[in-house]
């Protein structure tokens, strides 16, 4: 059978995106994978030997994640997909109330502007009125949000609310095409507002320059017909999903990483929610984020276009959509597949006996097991300034860089020993237990996981984390290096 490995997992499988494995069941497949790629065991299974909850296993488009299916015989030519979190059928009617659509008018300029929509039998005048009458909240004005907002504005969505708390940075311009060089250091929502004005001045554009939390999200999205998740972190994804489900607002989800993307529709007409697909997020550092792993420039445009397309179909009440499905796109191999999502009847949010009835901020560290328990040795660390002083003083220590090769080629940490995080357990003999070892990564999360990994493997030497990672140390100069880090 052929096994397809998502980009976020490839480093644990010899950088392979596709493997040919001779196995006749999921159990046999997983056993052979771990035998051939020992480092994959940690990413696939937790310390209790259970499959991690942010991993899904598909045969074709059928979800066979449940261990009850692992001994079922699979066909010889089966295609298996290991799908981690990175993130049908036609609706019966538009999500826009008919009363609101009937109250909406199109003037002569709009009839000319949207002429190509009016020519489409599935849109026409009624459909364009629905688009104009719609109210859409877009959470995140980064890479995905750039494409989504511009296409919604161009399509004539009458009320767009954009929510983001960040400012435009130079590094954003590679993929966040709604912003330009003139927008650097401006709030992203302000930059987006200017762009939408240039597209269509008749649109009511609301710029919310704030960070969503449990206290404000209900007020921010209540009354909107649709929410589009264009965020880039797991905490926001669960927050948005929970609020949408509790308020009865459908959500169009999108996620990107390197060359791959996912699109789905959640919380719609009794369909599954994001928690049905991924009950828990991966612990910070275990799976790299888009910010850590990067993404090819056109990818957010592709996935964002899919999100905008799903949004318009829901508004119009036409076509097939991704409720109960996830579209997985690999632009590197030109492979895309639609996978079915089963509603989890034990889901704490949308299941038969839900336990979540209010939107609550969850403690990411506690949920993912990163909180220090009373019987666990705490993780100590150095600030960038403290580590720089130790380096300049010539202190005896070992710095271990656990980043991926492509990250190190972009920004090197002087004098560091390179040991990828998946190899730490079996290469711990390269560490000196008689001297301090400092683990470094991009943002200081994977290095925490690295410390836990070597401790679990039995290493007893002193280990420390670089707080904030190499990103926090970019502007520090080492006197003995004579160059910026």
Nearest to 339 by CA among 349, 354, 348, 329: 329
What distance in Å separates the CA atoms of residue 287 and residue 280, rounded to the nearest whole number? Answer: 13
**Residue 444 per-residue DSSP state:** S
- How many angstroms separate the first and last alpha carbons of the chain? 46
E-strand spans in 165-249?
204-209, 226-229
Cβ-Cβ contacts under 8 Å for 459 (sequence gap 6 or more): 428, 431, 433
- For the beta sheet containing 18-20, the strands, ordered from the edge strand earlier in sequence to the opposite edge, are 18-20, 2-5, 79-84, 55-59, 62-63
420 pairs with which residues across the strands?
A: none
Question: Is 276 part of the annotated catalytic residue set?
Answer: no
Cβ-Cβ contacts under 8 Å for 8 (sequence gap 6 or more): 84, 86, 257, 258, 260, 287, 288, 293
176, two tokens: 């966040």
Find tokens 């925490």 and name the residue. Answer: 448
- Cβ neighbours, 10 Å, residue 325: 20
Q: How far is CA 147 from the centre of its chain?
A: 16
- Report yes or no: 141 and 149 within 8 Å, Cβ to Cβ: yes
What distance in Å separates the CA atoms of residue 399 and residue 232, rounded to the nearest whole number? Answer: 29
Find tokens 């445009």 and name the residue. Answer: 301
Strands 2-5 and 79-84: parallel
Catalytic residue among 290, 347, 350, 368: 290
- Report yes or no: 240 and 213 within 8 Å, Cβ to Cβ: no
What distance in Å separates the CA atoms of residue 13 and residue 17, rounded to the nearest whole number? Answer: 8
What distance in Å separates the CA atoms of residue 349 and residue 240, rounded to the nearest whole number? Answer: 12
Question: Is 290 part of the annotated catalytic residue set?
Answer: yes
- Report yes or no: 436 and 398 within 8 Å, Cβ to Cβ: yes
Catalytic residue numbers? 290, 441
């Amino acid at each position: 059978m052929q096994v397809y490995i998502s980009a976020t997992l490839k480093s644990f499988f010899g950088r392979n995106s596709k493997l040919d494995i001779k196995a006749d069941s999921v159990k046999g497949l997983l056993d052979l994978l771990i035998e051939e790629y020992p480092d994959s065991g940690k990413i696939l299974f937790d310390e209790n030997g259970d499959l991690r909850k942010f991993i899904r296993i598909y045969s074709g488009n059928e979800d066979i994640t449940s261990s009850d299916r692992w001994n079922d015989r699979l066909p010889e030519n089966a295609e298996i997909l290991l799908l981690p979190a990175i993130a049908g059928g036609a609706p019966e009617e538009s999500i826009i109330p008919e009363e609101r659509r009937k109250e909406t008018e199109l003037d002569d300029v709009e009839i000319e502007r949207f002429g190509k929509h009016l020519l489409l039998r599935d849109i026409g005048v009624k459909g364009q009125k629905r688009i104009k009458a719609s109210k859409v909240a877009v959470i995140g004005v980064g890479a995905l949000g750039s494409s989504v907002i511009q296409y919604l504005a161009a399509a004539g969505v009458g009320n767009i609310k954009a929510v983001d708390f960040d400012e435009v940075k130079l590094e954003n311009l590679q993929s966040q095409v709604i912003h330009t060089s003139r927008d650097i250091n401006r709030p992203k929502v302000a930059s987006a507002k200017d762009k939408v004005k240039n597209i269509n001045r008749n649109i009511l554009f609301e710029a919310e320059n704030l960070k969503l939390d449990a206290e404000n999200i209900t007020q921010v999205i209540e009354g909107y017909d649709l929410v589009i998740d264009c965020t880039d972190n797991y905490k926001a994804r669960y927050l948005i999903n929970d609020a949408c489900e509790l308020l009865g607002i459908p959500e169009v989800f999108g996620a990107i990483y390197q060359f791959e993307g996912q699109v789905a529709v959640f919380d719609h007409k009794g369909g599954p929610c994001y928690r049905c697909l991924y009950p828990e997020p991966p612990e910070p550092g275990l799976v790299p984020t888009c910010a850590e792993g990067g993404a090819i420039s056109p990818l957010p445009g592709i996935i964002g276009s899919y999100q905008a397309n799903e949004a318009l179909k829901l508004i119009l009440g036409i076509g097939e959509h991704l409720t109960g499905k996830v579209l997985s796109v690999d632009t590197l191999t030109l492979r895309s597949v639609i996978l079915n999502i089963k509603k989890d009847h034990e889901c704490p949010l949308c299941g038969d006996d839900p336990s979540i009835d209010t939107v609550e901020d969850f403690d990411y560290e506690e949920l993912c097991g990163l909180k220090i328990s009373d019987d666990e040795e705490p993780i100590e660390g150095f600030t960038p300034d403290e580590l720089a002083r130790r380096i300049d003083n010539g202190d005896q220590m070992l710095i271990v860089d656990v980043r991926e090769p492509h990250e190190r080629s972009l920004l090197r940490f002087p004098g560091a020993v390179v040991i990828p995080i998946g190899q730490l357990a079996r290469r711990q003999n390269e560490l000196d237990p008689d001297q301090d070892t400092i683990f470094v990564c991009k943002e200081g999360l994977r290095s925490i996981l690295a410390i836990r990994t070597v401790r679990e493997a039995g290493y007893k030497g002193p280990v420390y984390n670089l707080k904030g990672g190499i990103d926090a140390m970019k502007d520090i100069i080492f006197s003995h290096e004579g160059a910026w880090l």
